[in-house]
Amino acid sequence: MLSSSSALNSRPTSSSSSASSVRSWRTSHGPHRVFVPHSPMDLQLGHRVRIMLPSGRISTGTVRFLGHLQGEADLHLGVELQTPEQGLRDGSHRGHSYFECKPGHGAFVPFHKLLMAWE
C-alpha cells in the first residue's frame, strides 16, 4: 500500500495543472478548507460563509452569531456581510442586539439557508 505522499508523488504531472485548480479559497492568510456544514456543530464564529438571503440573493460574509433568535423556533446564523444589502440589519433583531456591524451588513438566516463555509 502506498502512503498518501507516495500516491501524490506518483501522479503524472502536466503543465495545465496549477494552483488555481486546488479546491481551496485563498486569502492573505493562506489556503482555507471549503466545506458544506451538515450541522450547526460544524460551524464556529469567524467562519466565512455563503448564504441565501431572504431576498433570494446569494451573499458572502462572516459568522458573528449562531443560536436562537428571540421569538424564532429555528436556529439562525447572524452573518456580517461582505457588501451591504438594502433592507438588511445591523446585527439586531426585534430590538435585541446579537452582534455589531455597519447598517445593511447584518443578516439573520436559518441554518438551512447556509450554502457553504470555509475556515
* Dihedral sign computed on CA atoms, order 107, 110, 112, 116: positive
SS3 state of residue 73: coil
What is the Cα–Cα distance from 35 to 97, expressed in whole angstroms? 29
Indicate if the pLDDT at residue 28 is higher than 70. Answer: no
More confident residue, 16 or 89: 89
Q: Do the beta carbons of residue 77 and residue 91 sit within 8 Å? A: no
Domain 40-119: state its class: mainly beta
| Nearest CA among 37, 39, 41, 38 for reference residue 49 | 37
Q: Where are the domains of the chain?
A: 40-119
- SS3 string, 33-91, reads EEECCCCHHHCCCCCEEEEECCCCCEEEEEEEEEEECCCCCCEEEEEEECCCCCCCECC
The pLDDT of 22-42, averaged and rounded, is 67
- Among 30-34, 75-79, 93-97, which is the least confidently predicted range? 30-34
The pLDDT of 25-40, averaged and rounded, is 70
Which residue type does 53 have?
L
Contacts of 19 (CB under 8 A, 6+ apart): none
| pLDDT score for 2 | 43
User: Residue 51: which H helix or E strand, with range?
Assistant: strand 48-52
